[in-house]
Structure 1
Amino acid sequence: MHCPSCNAQDTRVIDSRMLVEENSVRRRRKCDACETRFTTYENIQIQMPLIVKKDGRREAYNREKIMKGLNKACQKRNVSTDQINQLLNSVERSLLEISRTEVRARDLGEIIMDRLKELDRVAYVRYASFYWDFKDIEEFVYGLKNKLHSVKSISDKGDKRDIQH
């Protein structure tokens, strides 16, 4: 690592700390030539899968695009920016666990909505309203009732199984 002060090549690491939330390492360094101290950050580069759109187009995963949609869905709700970031980090971990080079946009949307439903149900409905491609309000309400009903019946069955054991 070159010293930012004197451009010498001999610098040494004094201290290293993992920044888990940011997937990076913070290093304090000291130049052997001029004794200047400085900090560097090393970020882990993770290759996210390509997103396959409904029409077959492929585009790079775009965290900012998803964040924008989540911010719209959570507008005027009691959801903090930290909670949205945690949700998005969880979605990204899920994508990496799938370990494929491509993921359908529909699958990505379902992962996001599953997490959002746990965080805030109104934000979930808002996100679903622009994520699902419904022709009219009746179709949207019908689809939403089916989704919420299927989730409720699955959780009801889970509760019954827990009681029986």
Structure 2
Amino acid sequence: MEAWRADRVGSALRGENPTVLARLPEAFAVIGDVQWLPGYCVLLTDDPSATRFSDLPRDRRLRYLDSVDHLAIAVETACVEADSGFRRVNIEILGSADPFLHTHVWPRYEWEPEQFRSKPVWCYPPERWRESATVLGSRHDPLRKAFTRLLTVTD
């Protein structure tokens, strides 16, 4: 396993996480390791001690949520621009598996199999997370560039 994966927040802070798209208030926007739903992104806290949302003081929670909004709009905009059958964005702060505050931003598509289209992403088979065909790679560079462009635009 690549070292940055074992410490995603620390590696982002050190500039060693290759999935980082942009630095946002209280967070790093990163593209997902797998792209079976193209455009999947995650917002990582920039506070290694924050294991859950309530670990941040209120003012920092609000800035973190503003960054969630910024990333979700960038994902939506890039997926619409890609004309890929985009339907909507799902946003999830779960906190069940990884020991750091993070938020999943999932684009959802019209072309998804009907049995999954209206259900949470976690209903897909676990194998989807390990499919070599959808692992993040250079074929995802156009999405990565679109996200970076959209995330670095100031309001």
Q: TM-score range by the shorter chain?
A: under 0.3
Task: Compare the two structures and name the one with the higher helix fraction.
Answer: 1
Structure 1 length as normaliser, TM-score?
0.26
Which one has a bigger Cα radius of gyration? 1
Alignment TM-score, normalising by the size of structure 2: 0.27
Higher relative contact order (CA 8 A, sep 6+): 2
